[in-house]
Amino acid sequence: MDEKAVPRKAEKLVGVKGMNDILPPESARWEWFESMIRVCMARYAFRNIRTPILEHTALFVRGIGEVTDIVEKEMYSFEDRSDKHGQAEHLSMRPEGTAAVVRAVVESNLLYDGGKRLFYMGPMFRREKPQRGRYRQFHQVGVEALGFAGPDTDAEVILLATSLWKMIGLTDVRLELNSLGQPAERAQHRAQLIAYFEKHVDQLDEEAKRRLHSNPLRILDTKNPAMQELVAGAPRLLDFLGTESLAHFEGLKAILDANGIAYTINPRLVRGLDYYNLTVFEFVTDRLGSQGTVCAGGRYDDLVVQIGGKPTPAVGWALGIERVLELLKEQGGQTPLQVPHAYAVVPDAAAMPQVLRTLQQLRELGVCVQMHAAGSEGMGSFKSQFKKADASGAAFALVFGADELAQGQVTVKHLRDGVGTQTMQPLAHVAQWASSLQFNA
């Protein structure tokens, strides 16, 4: 054989760093979690919204802030091709979900008949150093309640999150609360904060010095151990709140107390974006190292105006799916795996027309069936097929042997009862016995 005719093995292509494949059986955990999300959202009457992955860069510059790390360092942005007028569009892959949801709500005039409770699920993108629980493509679930001003809605979105934790069996999280007050109160606190840190500028790290005048609230969120004592002595925003802001915060706490929701007040819990006001909160854990925030949210009454809408109160939260699933693993929680109800053992490929006709009937009746397919060397031995049936996790093997088919029957063998109980079932009356397969022991 001419060696030149043998094709060379192509160089193996790999995925982009920090953007991970989600493969079976791990993908089953994701599908399970997403199904729990949908059930939980329906109970609270939150409706699904889906926005594009690509948005105009200006949306995030305006909605997140030009001096934030996300906009300055982390967004995947590019200049699209010029249109017929010679103008190019500046586009970005969404780094978070709230700004896009608000843009869609404003653009579609979705609030014309009153407030809306919305939720989203999907991938977000940030170019940062990949580490445990933090990736360049990551996935968020978020809720946004727009058009509701009271502390009852703040409490409702927190209660929704706690209900979700119960549904999925997540226990190792705790709730932290704070209030950012209103812009005027925050401005007074900001001035005092800058003055305080200016007196101790020699103790600030380079990141804090950079943020001192552009975003001083974020200094309070530093993870630098050398600055913890300094930050602990900084002016507290809670001490600058007026009567209305305090009443809102007390109203939230009263509802949480009435529902038995434990929380701690964390005066250092902040948001670095100007549109946040009043309630902010986080569900945090100690099990994931530095990536301890599992779910974060707050009230953002000024964002709708910044994106071009009418003044509209709003509150929401977002959680990272990767972090939640990682935390479930860490605490030893078990999530369901996708396994078929039955596995079809087919000794003779010639029987496939009749076998597939029966399997189609079973599938249309709601039974999940995995079929043993022929390989390059044929169907394989009876023993090897049963090994694969067992490995599939199915509760039953459906044996389509020559003797069974000659009698118009199939052998149904129990794979999980410890004794291999088996029965014969008629192929002419599949509907009569299909429901007996729809459980996994």
Across 107-121, 216-230, 394-408, least confident range: 216-230
φ, ψ for residue 12, nearest 5 deg: -70, 130
Percentage above 70 pLDDT, the chain: 93
CB proximity list for 194: less than 8 A, separation 6 or greater: 212, 213, 216
What pLDDT does 349 receive? 87
H/E element holding 90? strand 90-93
CB atoms within 10 A of CB 396: 28
Q: Given this model, what pLDDT does residue 74 score? A: 86
The string of pLDDT tens digits covering residues 79-120 is 987 666 767 889 999 999 999 999 999 999 999 999 999 999
- How many whole angstroms separate alpha carbon 365 and alpha carbon 137? 38
Q: How far apart are CA 219 and CA 204, in angstroms?
A: 9
For 164-196, how does the pLDDT look when each residue is reduced to its tens digit (9 = 90+)? 999 999 998 999 999 999 989 988 988 999 999
Residue 49 — very low, low, confident or very high, per pLDDT cuts 50/70/90?
Answer: very high
Query: How many Å apart are CA 400 and CA 398, to the nearest integer?
Result: 6
Which helix (H) or strand (E) segment holds residue 426: the answer is: strand 422-426
pLDDT at 290: 66
DSSP at 240: G
CA distance 350 to 64: 63
Q: Are 354 and 386 in contact (CB under 8 A)?
A: no
Other CB atoms within a 10 A radius of the CB of residue 415 amount to: 21
pLDDT at position 1 over 70:
no
Query: Which residue spans of the chain are classified as CATH 3.40.50.800?
Result: 342-437
- Residues 261 and 254 sit within 8 Å (Cβ to Cβ): no
Q: What is the rounded average pLDDT of the residues 319-340?
A: 86
Return d(Cα 423, Cα 379) in angstroms, integer: 24
**246 confidence band (pLDDT: 50, 70, 90):** very high
User: How high does pLDDT run on average in the chain?
Assistant: 90
Q: What is the pLDDT of residue 253?
A: 98
In this structure, are residues 246 and 253 in contact, taking their beta carbons and an 8 Å threshold?
no
Q: Give per-residue pLDDT as tens, 25-44.
A: 889 999 999 999 999 999 99
d(CA 224, CA 208): 10
Span 62-76, pLDDT tens digits: 877 665 667 767 889
For residue 102, what pLDDT is reported?
96
Confidence of residue 440 (pLDDT cuts 50, 70, 90): low
Could you tell me which of 77, 65, 62, 57 has the C-alpha nearest to residue 211?
A: 65
Say how far apart CA 56 and CA 73 lie, in whole Å.
17
The pLDDT tens digits for 128-141 are 887 776 789 999 99
Fold of 26-181+262-330: BirA Bifunctional Protein; domain 2 (3.30.930)
What is the Cα–Cα distance from 30 to 342, expressed in whole angstroms? Answer: 23
> What CATH number matches the domain at 342-437, 3.40.630.10, 1.10.645.10, 3.40.50.800, 3.40.50.20?
3.40.50.800
Distance CA 44, CA 9 (A): 54
What pLDDT does residue 376 have?
59
**CA separation for the pair 43, 122 (Å, rounded):** 21
List, as own/partner pairs, every contact residues 252-260 make where C-beta atoms lie below 8 angstroms and the sequence separation is at least 24, other chains included.
Answer: 252/151, 252/154, 252/155, 252/177, 252/279, 253/177, 255/151, 255/152, 255/155, 256/155, 256/158, 256/159, 256/175, 259/155, 259/159
Averaged pLDDT, 315-331: 93
Q: How far apart are CA 267 and CA 239, in angstroms?
A: 10
Q: What is the pLDDT of residue 441?
A: 45
List where CATH 3.30.930.10 sits in the chain.
26-181+262-330
Nearest alpha-carbon partner for 158 in 181, 176, 138: 176
Q: What are phi and psi of 13, to 5 degrees?
A: -90, 145
Q: Which of 230-239, 301-310, 373-382, 394-403 has the lowest mean pLDDT?
A: 373-382
Q: Is the pTM of this model over 0.85?
A: yes
| 142-151: average pLDDT | 97
Single-letter code of the amino acid located at 138: F
In this structure, of 81-90, 250-259, 336-345, 368-377, the range with the lowest mean pLDDT score is 81-90
Model confidence at 226: pLDDT above 50: yes
